[in-house]
Chain A
Amino acid sequence: DSGVTQTPKHLITATGQRVTLRCSPRSGDLSVYWYQQSLDQGLQFLIHYYNGEERAKGNILERFSAQQFPDLHSELNLSSLELGDSALYFCASNVGDGTNYEQYFGPGTRLTVT
């Protein structure tokens, strides 16, 4: 158990809908990262927040957005969902401001778009 929690564990929704994925980092961690993992693929970096501020963006679609709240939990919002958005979504956390190469991953949210 990494200490990172994610909810929900599974999510099934229809095309065109909007969902929110939630992540609570390990106690004391200020950085939260979001990744997308499609079937049998590597992890695609989406976005990084540090202490409430956006620090880096990957190839995140405009339909996707995220934020980190004052209590440091983070939410990833996915809208106008398409079949291709079906994937595992992981969040990870660490203490640093992005220079820390060791990230602690949550159990993931499996999103299925039908």
Chain B
Amino acid sequence: GQSLEQPSEVTAVEGAIVQMNCTYQTSGFYGLSWYQQHDGGAPTFLSYNALDGLEETGRFSSFLSRSDSYGYLLLQELQMKDSASYFCAVMDSSYKLIFGSGTRLLVRP
């Protein structure tokens, strides 16, 4: 079967760094994406890793280890507006995007 595991909730303080993990088991793998979704809003694309290593985009970084079927999203200099749900998603062998159930991030002042 196909499954993606994410912690359900993470709490962090404004200005801090937070890491949100994702482990996956899918039939075929082309890459790992991350999406952000604020309450009541639409998901928005954050990053994509096709190869092992770290990709950085401003305050956001995403890491992938294909051998471990593991990735994470790192947010630095947390701001209150970063409070949202973060979903990892795998593009499988049939080019379907399979989403995890998401991690709800709560940023406290």
> Which positions 33-61 of chain A face chain B at CB distance < 8 Å?
33, 35, 41-45, 48, 55-56, 58
By the criterion CB–CB under 8 Å, are B42 and A55 in contact? no
Task: Give the number of residues in B that approach A within 8 Å (Cβ atoms).
Answer: 22
By the criterion CB–CB under 8 Å, are B43 and A43 in contact? yes
CA distance A33 to B4 in the complex (A): 20
By the criterion CB–CB under 8 Å, are B45 and A104 in contact? yes
Contact of A105 with B44 at beta-carbon distance under 8 Å, contacts A33-B97, A45-B98 already known: yes
CA distance A55 to B95 in the complex (A): 9
Contact of A42 with B44 at beta-carbon distance under 8 Å, contacts A99-B95, A101-B33, A101-B91 already known: no
By the criterion CB–CB under 8 Å, are B97 and A45 in contact? yes
A48 → B minimal CB distance (Å)? 7
Report whether over half of chain B's contact residues are helix, strand or loop; otherwise say mixed: strand
Interface stretch (choices B10-18, B69-77, B99-107) = B99-107
What 1/0 flags go to B25-47 for Cβ under 8 Å of A? Answer: 00000110100000001111100
B35 → A minimal CB distance (Å)? 8
> Which positions 5-39 of chain A face chain B at CB distance < 8 Å?
33, 35
By the criterion CB–CB under 8 Å, are B94 and A56 in contact? yes
By the criterion CB–CB under 8 Å, are B96 and A103 in contact? no
Nearest to B6 among chain A residues (CB) is A42
Contact of A48 with B99 at beta-carbon distance under 8 Å, contacts A2-B44, A102-B48 already known: no
**Residues of B contacting A99 with CB < 8 Å?**
30, 91, 95
Whether, in the assembled complex, B87 has its beta carbon less than 8 Å from a beta carbon of chain A, the answer is yes
> Which positions 55-114 of chain A face chain B at CB distance < 8 Å?
55-56, 58, 90, 92, 97-99, 101-108
